[in-house]
Structure 1
Amino acid sequence: MLGTLRKIVQEVNAAPDLKAALGIIVLRVKEAMGSQVCSVYLLDPESGRFVLMATEGLNKRAIGKVSMAPDEGLVGLVSTREEPLNLEHASEHPRYRYFAETGEERYASFLGAPIIHHRRVMGVLVIQQKERRQFDEGEEAFLVTMSAQLAGVIAHAEATGSIRGLGREGKGIQETRFLGIAGAPGAAIGTALVVLPPADLDVVPDKSVENIEAELALFEAALEAVRADMRALSKRLAGQMRKEERALFDVYLMMLDESALAGEVVKVIRTGQWAQGALRRVVSGHVRRFELMDDAYLRERASDVRDIGRRLLGYLQQAHQQALTYPDNTILVSEELTPAMLGEVPDGKLVGMVSVLGSSNSHVAILARAMGIPTVMGAVDLPYSKLDGIGLIIDGSRGEIITNPGKVLCEKYAVVIEQDRELSRGLDVLRELPCETTDGLRIPLWVNTGLLADVVRAQERGAEGVGLYRTEVPFMIKERFPSEKEQLAIYREQLQAFHPLPVTMRSLDIGGDKSLPYFPIQEENPFLGWRGIRVTLDHPEIFLLQTRAMLKSSEGLNNLRILLPMISGTRELEEALHLIQRAWNEVRDEGTDVRMPPVGVMIEVPAAVYQTRELARMVDFISVGSNDLTQYLLAVDRNNPRVADLYDYLHPAVLEALLRVVTDAHAEGRPVSICGEMAGDPAAALLLLAMGFDSLSMNATNLPRVKWMVRQISSQVARELLDKVMQLESPQAIRSTLQETLRSLGLDRLINPSAAV
């Protein structure tokens, strides 16, 4: 059956439209299962009825005419039960309904499977047979598998609009939603422009050449052309991006250097291989090695290598990409967006981006956040190649894409987008004002930083310190471990920029979805594996060198705080504290006069939640990492779009854990802060304030919004709101209560745009 299934899937995927795909499925399934009838019923959203849309075995004149409600017939029963129905004699079932026009009275046996996509029943796939018989488990499993395949086909047809006209009234489904990963916040309405790769390296054949010098000259010309393209794109973006962010284009230029990818291609050409074949061999080798490492950061580097290879091949083939026409309000869509694609869009045209591959750590996602362009990554179910010219709404805050949006939805989002712009302009006046409630409760707002460009944005928005400086960022943009001197210079720059405000530097936190190209970590389950403090304790030479650099960088400034990630018990903390003490002694012995900085521990795993008091006694402060804590408490990978809707920091279990951490930390006299997406959510920030968190740390973009919200409410109202939501049993109920309360107080201006529509 597996071979048959594979062939059917290939044939269905090659179908030009939904009607053809349905015809292929009913024909091939009927043949594969040796039944007399195979039919597909699809849900018409306007009538709410299941309509016969394709059949082999029943009267084809019944197509589009026969229908039944969810509470009618066996098809309706399959849809409401959301599971297969296997009957030896269908007509004896109390839900059996007879349709004379189908001729189905001749068929006794019935097997139906629901067609479900993202929890939504879209239709029912049915097979029937004259003889009375029970279909066996293998046949049932085969039909369920085909139903799952058909669900994807129908969803893609909805997205591209090809399903229209198939309903009884010729209207069909207008709007379809797809989930991806939140890449850059904000919403956008526009027209999809699909960007396909300029050249296909995979189809380049090997070819021997005699004139090697001519091939080398050809390759060198292509190199210069692509280098010029990269410099021009970087220059064009100079007005929109800071120097540090444009440095991502330097990654491309480095790969074009003779000591890197370009040099390897030259070596292959000198063996007698033509330039295109040599390029394919080198690029494919690099991409394959990166992808086999199964690591998020390295997958993004594979994307960069692949993009460079395609651009070089385009020049080698002298097949310049046909000039694209960028419509107003362009939403760039591609299988794999790259920074170069972003830079090619004319000024003022780009409003949003969607990438099928990639994560929130992608270079293009980093740039999108810096430039304020709403972006969705990891939209794996999106039929991207068929979306060109189709209207889209994207929600970069929730990672949602809506294809073929209706007029009403577009109008709602347009209002929200404009309100968001006005609000952002109005929040600028808050920079010098304190973050305090109407009854005088102060709560410092700190920022999360990584890139040097984050410093300016944080200062422009009135940050009172750095709650999380991600030290892994400087490590990730280098080709080797940075030296102590290099690290010292980077850390000193951060400390000086914020002095005398505190800067909390997290020790190297790699593993999970963050890795280094020169220090690959290969694991089947990286999020539960070798990451954070586990890596650096196993490599004390890395930890000691970094700690020495941090300590030396704070000389004369004394605004450094050191934060230890992924601590799951007291033994790890004891080892880390011992190494910090050792590094401090070494630095002092060398003549550097620095005092021991405050040391804190991150509460990110459930084990640490239950040991907060023990951990707090050993350190100076506690910091909760809300992103990872939510992920581990709920067992949900936040970078996986298939379970993205289950990741919710307003889950009652998360709120209970946070309240426990604050209570236990304060019981030991230790201040406790929180960093992550939750701290930057204005509504959630009110709950954190009420719980007693001493500071909140967030993306600089969200800081004015949180400050505005805090300044509109009293601490007493915030505590009453917390008491109310702590009695609720689901994140949906909690979110709804938050929104309704804020609306009743006239404070709904900062509710997430997607919640408003």
Structure 2
Amino acid sequence: MTMLNTLRKIIQEVNSAQDLNTALTIIVERVRAAMGTQVCSVYLLDPQSNRFVLMATEGLNKAAIGRVSMAPSEGLVGLVGTREEPLNLEDAASHPRYRYFAETGEERYASFLGAPIIHHRRVMGVLVVQQKERRQFDEGEEAFLVTMSAQLAGVIAHAEATGSIRGLGKQGKATPDTRFIGVPGSPGVALGTGVVVLPPADLEVVPDRPIDDIDGEIAYFYNAIEAVRKDMRELSARLSSQLRQEERALFDVYLMMLDDASIAGEVVKVIETGQWAQGALRQVVNGHVKRFELMDDAYLSERASDVKDIGRRILAYLQQARQQALVYPDNTILVSEELSPAMLGEVPPGKLVGLVSVTGSSNSHVAILARAMGIPTVMGAVDLPYAMLDGIELIVDGYRGDVFTNPSHGLRRQFAEIAEEERQLNLGLDALRSLPCETLDGHHMPLWVNTGLFADVARAQERGAEGVGLYRSEVPFMTNERFPGEKEQAAIYRQQLAAFHPLPVTMRTLDIGGDKALSYFPIKEENPFLGWRGIRITLDHPEIFLVQARAMLKASEGLNNLRILLPMISGLAELEEAQRLLQRAWSEVREEGFDVPMPPVGVMIEIPAAVFQTRELARRVDFLSVGSNDLTQYLLAVDRNNPRVASLYDYLHPSVLQALKRVVDDAHGVGKPVSICGEMAGDPAAAVLLMAMGFDSLSMNATNLPKVKWLLRQLSLAQAGELLGRILDLEHPQATHALLQQTLRDLGLGRMLNPVGGLPA
């Protein structure tokens, strides 16, 4: 058997383990057998004691498990862990770091091969094999162990986390204050109860759930079985003329699998133990699938897909029969593999206090929406066994990006105090509503808002916004089941324009693609952020662009506060083509009798190519607007939705700051105003730098507007300019963050640093 097949089989077995101890036992047994060694052991780093503890072994004295441990500075295991690289020794006892533990009985073993187990840069433990005779393990054996430890790192992390939540830790109790690390999505802290939103018909994420009415659950399961049987018979009859007899027999196999003597009977037995039907189905189907996949016979291993298919079909009916609405308790913390704006809308008003998403980053659109709504959010919690959090007490720390399960009384009190401090701060900021955003030396800095939902209007007006710097026109498209017509769009746009009149409202033309999908206009691409998105789509579909442009123009009649913004412009050709279409739409609207002037037209600077053509673009439009989210992403080559590289996404990177300064200077060089509408503008400390660069307005979510206004009113433009000069000389983003924080503290403005350290998001 090839190394790859052996690895695959071990990983599959470990994945099916019910808890961490079982997983570790499988690892040491299978790795020892696969490598033909006399010993295989796993040592895990205990974060409390900071010692490597023997957690499983095959070959050493099992009585030593849990009792033998060593500090990172001790023994060969400690050496592997601290050096974070494999160690291959022919005679372990002769190494200066060798340490002998009598209780393990390892004096009989001469040769030693150890590989670190590392997960997301964190050393979790060490995987060791040992042999009696002196010999150097060859390159192939070393490669196998290194590959195995890398593969197992995520599995061990998941098993560890699952045990902490499900009460598989010490004395069978859930581990209190278990911390999962994600990415800050929206600032603030939330204490509440987890409500898990599961994707439809996905057996892998169905959680365990106890039931009382066993007979009712069995009846409900049999109804789903009968519905699948009916589907199979109808499908077989419909295809009977197109299939040969032996091919039609496959449907008989499916029907047999639904019998009491097969899958159905096994599921019923699990339900009888008190497990709900969906959880019982998951257990039985996954067990069959894993057994089939481990078979060497190609025909039999392929049967795993048949069992999966049957499982999905039954689950779909089980879910359909139980489509009652989720119960949302007070202080709901919504948890999902991938949160969507629609999920947020399902929660009754006043009950949603926090969000947790396994995928995505702080710049995913759901995180941007959460910031606009002021809901503490953690994104990219990739190691979180989220399906098990239903009904679990949680704390969401949107400042650091941490999620705590089963919080202790002390931790709850600590975070409740932070939440109260934040509430008091916001009450104090409310007093600024009617005051201008003016520095100590009289410089007026217009603060605008980003909107998309009509609910954003009230939030913006409550906080004293001076206009709309970005209306995301794709939001009505994303909440629809088809492209909205011209009259529908005009009515929506009119609401926004009228609500802010006479203040300016900057409407961005449809910006879909990337991470903004329309269910009725699917775009499948390998690299969507460098693909068909923004202006590229609407220029390829002028019928969409023209309808939207006409709707915006008609909506502005009599108000005349519309500004149109073109997204994702990468060069003059795109701009000129878009302007021709806008001119055509305006002529058509005028011919229909609408008396509207041609509104100001602007370009978004969010592609590096546009940075270097700022002067040429600015000469042809009325204004420019920087989209700092995408510009940062493209300048740093960091997918802003990927939590694995989220730490590299930083709009205070020297390259980003230099690019922004260049855009302002070039735009002003030809007499055109330039605003910025990315999330950077809503960071109070970053706003100081943007004001110093000369941006003519800052546009942000309404939640952050009072914080930005408060900070800019506490200093002079001259102070901001001096700070910018020092920061533009720095070479590392970490140095920029440190200097910003220290300067704010020295000025007595540390209030704008969030309660648990760092800058507000």
Give the alignment's TM-score, normalised by structure 1. 0.78
Q: Is the 8 A contact 1:600 1:623 kept in 2?
A: yes
Q: Is the 8 A contact 2:363 2:629 kept in 1?
A: no
TM-fit CA distance, 1:420: 1.0
Distance 1:413 1:729, change over 3 A: farther
Give the whole-Å Cα distance in 2 for the aligned partners of 1:474 and 1:648: 30
Q: Give the match for residue 662 of structure 1.
A: 664
TM-fit CA distance, 1:557: 2.1
Distance 1:495 1:329, change over 3 A: closer
Q: Give the match for residue 264 of structure 1.
A: none
2:182 is aligned with 1:179: yes
Q: Is the 8 A contact 1:181 1:639 kept in 2?
A: no
Q: Give the match for residue 207 of structure 1.
A: 229
Deviations 1:311-344 (A, max 9, x none): 9856747x989x9795x75544455668998799
Distance 1:472 1:158, change over 3 A: same
2:157 is aligned with 1:135: no
Q: Structure 2 counterpart of 1:39, which letter?
A: S
TM-fit CA distance, 1:97: 3.6
Q: 2:419 aligns with which of 417, 420, 424?
A: 417
Deviations 1:72-116 (A, max 9, x none): 333222222222233344345444444444333433332221111
Q: 1:572 aligns with which of 571, 574, 582?
A: 574
Unaligned runs of 5+ in 2: 205-220, 235-277, 279-311
Q: Structure 1 counterpart of 2:62, which letter?
A: K
Q: Is the 8 A contact 1:181 1:379 kept in 2?
A: no
Deviations 1:479-524 (A, max 9, x none): 3322333322222222222111111111111111112222221111
Equivalence map 1:327-366=2 (5 Å): 331-335=333-337, 351-356=353-358
Q: Is the 8 A contact 2:360 2:642 kept in 1?
A: no
Q: Give the match for residue 282 of structure 2.
A: none
Q: Structure 2 counterpart of 1:463, which letter?
A: A
Distance 1:89 1:607, change over 3 A: farther
TM-fit CA distance, 1:733: 2.8
Give the whole-Å Cα distance in 2 for the aligned partners of 1:171 and 1:379: 20
Distance 1:16 1:461, change over 3 A: same
Secondary structure at the aligned position of 2:616 is classed as helix
Q: Is the 8 A contact 2:163 2:174 kept in 1?
A: no
Q: Give the match for residue 708 of structure 1.
A: 710
Q: Is the 8 A contact 1:108 1:131 kept in 2?
A: yes
Distance 1:200 1:522, change over 3 A: closer
Deviations 1:233-265 (A, max 9, x none): xxxxxxxxxxxxxxxxxxxxxxxxxxxxxxxxx
Q: Structure 1 counterpart of 2:10, which letter?
A: I
Q: Structure 1 counterpart of 2:448, which letter?
A: W
TM-fit CA distance, 1:675: 0.8
Q: Structure 2 counterpart of 1:178, which letter?
A: I
Give the whole-Å Cα distance in 2 for the aligned partners of 1:490 and 1:477: 12
2:96 is aligned with 1:74: no
Give the whole-Å Cα distance in 1 for the aligned partners of 2:38 and 2:582: 75
TM-fit CA distance, 1:31: 1.2
Q: 1:52 aligns with which of 51, 54, 62?
A: 54
Q: Structure 2 counterpart of 1:496, which letter?
A: A
Secondary structure at the aligned position of 1:495 is classed as helix
Equivalence map 1:222-371=2 (5 Å): 313=318, 316=321, 331-335=333-337, 351-356=353-358
Q: Give the match for residue 434 of structure 2.
A: 432
RMSD: 3.8
Distance 1:70 1:520, change over 3 A: same
Q: Give the match for residue 693 of structure 1.
A: 695
Deviations 1:129-173 (A, max 9, x none): 234444344433432333234433443455456499999xx9999
Greater shift in the superposed pair: 372-381 or 642-651: 372-381
Q: Structure 2 counterpart of 1:130, which letter?
A: K
Give the whole-Å Cα distance in 2 for the aligned partners of 1:336 and 1:557: 40
Q: Is the 8 A contact 1:603 1:624 kept in 2?
A: yes
Distance 1:171 1:477, change over 3 A: closer
Q: 2:537 aligns with which of 530, 535, 538?
A: 535
TM-fit CA distance, 1:199: 8.9
Unaligned runs of 5+ in 1: 213-279, 281-306
Q: Is the 8 A contact 2:362 2:640 kept in 1?
A: no
TM-fit CA distance, 1:473: 1.4
2:466 is aligned with 1:464: yes
Q: Is the 8 A contact 2:177 2:411 kept in 1?
A: no
Q: Is the 8 A contact 1:176 1:404 kept in 2?
A: no
Equivalence map 1:612-623=2 (5 Å): 612-623=614-625
Q: Is the 8 A contact 2:180 2:381 kept in 1?
A: no
TM-fit CA distance, 1:634: 1.7
Give the whole-Å Cα distance in 2 for the aligned partners of 1:198 and 1:661: 46
Give the whole-Å Cα distance in 1 for the aligned partners of 2:495 and 2:525: 35
Q: Give the match for residue 652 of structure 2.
A: 650
2:554 is aligned with 1:563: no
Q: Give the match for residue 554 of structure 1.
A: 556
TM-fit CA distance, 1:455: 1.5
Q: 1:103 aligns with which of 98, 102, 105?
A: 105
Q: Structure 1 counterpart of 2:398, which letter?
A: G
Greater shift in the superposed pair: 649-658 or 369-378: 369-378
Equivalence map 1:8-157=2 (5 Å): 8-156=10-158
Give the alignment's TM-score, normalised by structure 2. 0.77
Give the whole-Å Cα distance in 2 for the aligned partners of 1:171 and 1:587: 65
Deviations 1:396-432 (A, max 9, x none): 3564323455676555433321111111222222111
Give the whole-Å Cα distance in 1 for the aligned partners of 2:346 and 2:613: 52
Q: Is the 8 A contact 1:613 1:667 kept in 2?
A: yes
TM-fit CA distance, 1:586: 3.4
Give the whole-Å Cα distance in 1 for the aligned partners of 2:662 and 2:95: 55
Give the whole-Å Cα distance in 2 for the aligned partners of 1:83 and 1:741: 41
Q: Structure 2 counterpart of 1:415, which letter?
A: E
Distance 1:40 1:640, change over 3 A: same
Give the whole-Å Cα distance in 1 for the aligned partners of 2:132 and 2:695: 69
Q: 1:721 aligns with which of 720, 723, 727?
A: 723
Secondary structure at the aligned position of 1:627 is classed as helix
Give the whole-Å Cα distance in 2 for the aligned partners of 1:208 and 1:66: 59
Deviations 1:523-545 (A, max 9, x none): 11110001111111222222223
Give the whole-Å Cα distance in 2 for the aligned partners of 1:366 and 1:695: 20
Give the whole-Å Cα distance in 2 for the aligned partners of 1:607 and 1:476: 28
Deviations 1:170-191 (A, max 9, x none): 9999643321572x54211345
Distance 1:640 1:358, change over 3 A: closer
Distance 1:554 1:481, change over 3 A: same
Distance 1:509 1:199, change over 3 A: closer
Give the whole-Å Cα distance in 2 for the aligned partners of 1:543 and 1:196: 36
Q: Is the 8 A contact 1:41 1:53 kept in 2?
A: yes
Q: Is the 8 A contact 2:437 2:712 kept in 1?
A: yes
TM-fit CA distance, 1:741: 2.2
Q: Is the 8 A contact 1:18 1:153 kept in 2?
A: no
Distance 1:639 1:752, change over 3 A: farther
TM-fit CA distance, 1:372: 4.2
> What is the number of residues matched between the two proteins?
657
Q: Is the 8 A contact 1:161 1:404 kept in 2?
A: no
Distance 1:162 1:596, change over 3 A: closer
Q: Give the match for residue 297 of structure 1.
A: none
Q: Is the 8 A contact 1:551 1:594 kept in 2?
A: yes
Q: Give the match for residue 284 of structure 1.
A: none
Give the whole-Å Cα distance in 2 for the aligned partners of 1:196 and 1:698: 32
Secondary structure at the aligned position of 2:229 is classed as coil
Give the whole-Å Cα distance in 2 for the aligned partners of 1:475 and 1:376: 26
TM-fit CA distance, 1:678: 0.9
Give the whole-Å Cα distance in 2 for the aligned partners of 1:106 and 1:456: 75
Q: Structure 1 counterpart of 2:665, which letter?
A: T
